Amino acid sequence: MYDVVVVGAGPAGSMAAKTAAEQGLNVLLVEKRQEIGTPVRCAEGISRESIEKFFEVDKKWIAAEVIGAKIYAPDKTEIVMSEEMAGNEVGYVLERKIFDRHVARLAARAGAEVYVKTAMVDFERRDGKVKLKLRRLGEEWEVETKILIGADGVESKIGRKAGIIRTLKLNEVESCAQYLMTGLDIDENYTYFYLGRETAPGGYAWIFPKGNGSANVGIGVLPRMAEKTAKEYLDAFIEKEGIEGKIIEFVAGAVPVYGEIETAVADNIMLAGDAAYHADPITGGGIANALSAGYYAGKVAAEAVQKNDFSASFLRRYDELWKNDFGKRLRRNKKLQLKFIDMDDAVLNKLAGAIAGKNLREMSVAAIVKELLKAHPKLLWDLKDLF
Amino acid sequence: MARKAVVDRRKCAYCGACVAVCPADANELVETFLEIYDDKCTGCSICVKMCPMGALAIVEVE
Ligand SMILES: Cc1cc2nc3c(=O)[nH]c(=O)nc-3n(C[C@H](O)[C@H](O)[C@H](O)COP(=O)(O)OP(=O)(O)OC[C@H]3O[C@@H](n4cnc5c(N)ncnc54)[C@H](O)[C@@H]3O)c2cc1C
Ligand code: SF4
Ligand code: SF4
């Protein structure tokens, strides 16, 4: 019998397995893909702070470093956010194929067992523990565990089966397409965001540099508002912007933009990362929260094993930890997202025009909204107490 | 006659986006391919709107 079985070896799962194993627990990490980290379903951007909180940075999994971001309104008004001094990188663009494996390797090194090309196909809670059915190469078998950590991403079956989350509606998830392009002529010191209902209804398009003239060029759209597929919006964006380069990789995926869930636990079960809809509703960024949630889940698993208490009421300690860390931000950014998707292109242009040319030194959503509140308090009056 | 979702395997990027929104638990991303379970699929077409690739369609089946 395991103390903890973690399903999914993304950032959340590997971090949970690593943390639990470091606390001396008997841990199994299960991943259905045959290669951890591929296919990539991510634009790979993360703030420097979020990564350095947990890891010693290794150039092997950093594709590029950026000093700021440029945001474009539909009429091309530009908002620049950047640190004053050169050499003060604020963000990284990761190489997740390597990064995800690195975190899984750290989990293994800490003592976790790792099974790849192994899917969890079913589970059942019985007699105070969880029985899991695993499948590899067509063969099925059962394992038992005291705690199940569901880090199975946006397609999570664990959360739904356990009744912790409900299925996402078409206005609670972004449909995404992305190309890794090479031979691009861009300033690689910045990440780029393009707003507008016509370009990306309910979402945005992005260019995240990966060094040597290559970049992730992608788009996310809200299916409820979209009139064609994400891939069609992406092709239209590339055409309209005149982005010239060669496509050397193709990515599709979904990001939850749900906001904060009430609880991420049930008896014997904790959800972490995209499985718990932990991605940010306004940026779609989910790596940082997935890492933090995985870390907290691993910690609480160790406390639960020590106290021999796997009840939902005990595991609520985990809720407390992730909510204290980023729950408020999820709540706040969900409100902002609802406001944002209601804005037509004229309003976006007006808002961008009001703060264009301002010196935005801090790279955060809050920094932009604070400036907007100064410029157009009426348009955003209902957000004023949040920022 | 009933309506069911079908996947065009040549277009599918096995990304799991459709699995995230299916209210009937009728699809699954099995390692590297998408499976749709006809016995559970209600033909609601939610997954069709979600798919980034346009790989899903609803068809009438006997
Ligand atoms: C196009 C796109 C761009 C994005 N860009 C960014 C960005 O720039 N920055 C950012 O921070 N975030 C970004 N995100 C979001 C980010 O990718 C996710 O938030 C992050 O990967 C979540 O990590 P996770 O560990 O929760 O889940 P995942 O990384 O999705 O890992 C879940 C794992 O569980 C496995 N799994 C699922 N079911 C089972 C099962 N039954 N048995 C075994 N294994 C299973 C899956 O195979 C997968 O490996 C983007 C997402 C998309 C789609
Ligand atoms: S049509 Fe509806 S029930 Fe059938 S697979 Fe798609 S989302 Fe699920
Ligand atoms: S959403 Fe489309 S591309 Fe993604 S797995 Fe489903 S059918 Fe395939």
**What backbone phi and psi angles, to 5 degrees, belong to A184?**
-90, 150
DSSP letter, residue A108: H
* Interchain CB distance below 8 Å, B52 and A230: yes
Ligand 1 centroid distance, CA of A36 (Å) = 11
Whether the Cβ atoms of residue A226 and residue A175 lie closer than 8 Å to each other: yes
What's the pLDDT at B27?
A: 97
Domain of A111, in residue numbers: 2-338
What's the pLDDT at A363?
A: 75
- Chain B residues close to A157, C-beta within 8 Å: 25, 28
Instruction: Judge if ipTM > 0.95.
Output: yes
User: Is residue A359 included in any domain, yes or no?
Assistant: no
Whether the Cβ atoms of residue A265 and residue A318 lie closer than 8 Å to each other: yes
User: Is residue A381 included in any domain, yes or no?
Assistant: no
User: Is residue A111 included in any domain, yes or no?
Assistant: yes
User: Is residue A377 included in any domain, yes or no?
Assistant: no
Whether the Cβ atoms of residue A281 and residue A203 lie closer than 8 Å to each other: no
What's the rounded Cα separation, in Å, for the pair A287 and A268? 24
* Domain total in chain B: 1
B9 CB near a chain A CB, below 8 Å? no
Give the pocket of ligand 1 (CB within 6 Å). Answer: A 7-13, 30-33, 41-46, 119-120, 151-153, 155, 176, 178, 218, 251, 253-255, 273-275, 279, 284-288, 290
* Interchain CB distance below 8 Å, B31 and A32: yes
User: Is residue A350 included in any domain, yes or no?
Assistant: no
| Shortest CA distance from B56: residue in chain A | A229
* Interchain CB distance below 8 Å, A154 and B25: no
What's the pLDDT at A87?
A: 56
A175 CB near a chain B CB, below 8 Å? yes
304-323 in chain A: CB under 8 A from chain B = none
What's the pLDDT at A84?
A: 64
Minimum-distance ligand to the CA of B46?
2
What's the pLDDT at B1?
A: 75
Tell the residue nearest (CA) to atom 7 of ligand 2: B22
CA A12 to chain centre: 10
Whether the Cβ atoms of residue A70 and residue A209 lie closer than 8 Å to each other: no
| Shortest CA distance from A277: residue in chain B | B20
Tell me the H-state helices in A53-191: 96-109, 158-161
Separation in Å, CA A264 to CA A245, A270, B35: 42, 6, 27
Of the partner residues A33, A224, A252, the one whose CB lies closest to the CB of residue B15: A252
Interface test with B, best of A171, A179, A231, A255 (most B CBs within 10 A): A231
User: Is residue A102 included in any domain, yes or no?
Assistant: yes
DSSP letter, residue A337: H
The encoded tokens of residue A213 equal 């003239």
What's the pLDDT at B13?
A: 95
Q: 10 Å Cβ neighbour count for A360?
A: 19
Ligand 3: does its nearest atom lie under 6 Å from the Cβ of B22? no
Ligand 1 centroid distance, CA of A236 (Å) = 26
What's the rounded Cα separation, in Å, for the pair A9 and A32? 9
What's the rounded Cα separation, in Å, for the pair A208 and A194? 12
Minimum-distance ligand to the CA of A193?
1
What's the pLDDT at A346?
A: 95
Q: B62 to chain A nearest CA, in Å? A: 29
For the stretch B39-62, pLDDT in tens is 999 999 999 999 999 999 999 987
Tell the residue nearest (CA) to atom 2 of ligand 2: B44
B37 CB near a chain A CB, below 8 Å? no
Q: CATH code at A153?
A: 3.50.50.60
User: Is residue A351 included in any domain, yes or no?
Assistant: no
Ligand 2: does its nearest atom lie under 6 Å from the Cβ of B24? yes
Ligand 2: does its nearest atom lie under 6 Å from the Cβ of B7? no
| Shortest CA distance from B47: residue in chain A | A170
Domain of B10, in residue numbers: 2-61
Low-confidence ranges of chain A (pLDDT < 70): 84-88
Q: CATH code at B37?
A: 3.30.70.20
| Shortest CA distance from A174: residue in chain B | B50
* Domain total in chain A: 1
Ligand 3 centroid distance, CA of B20 (Å) = 10
User: Is residue A382 included in any domain, yes or no?
Assistant: no
B46 CB near a chain A CB, below 8 Å? yes
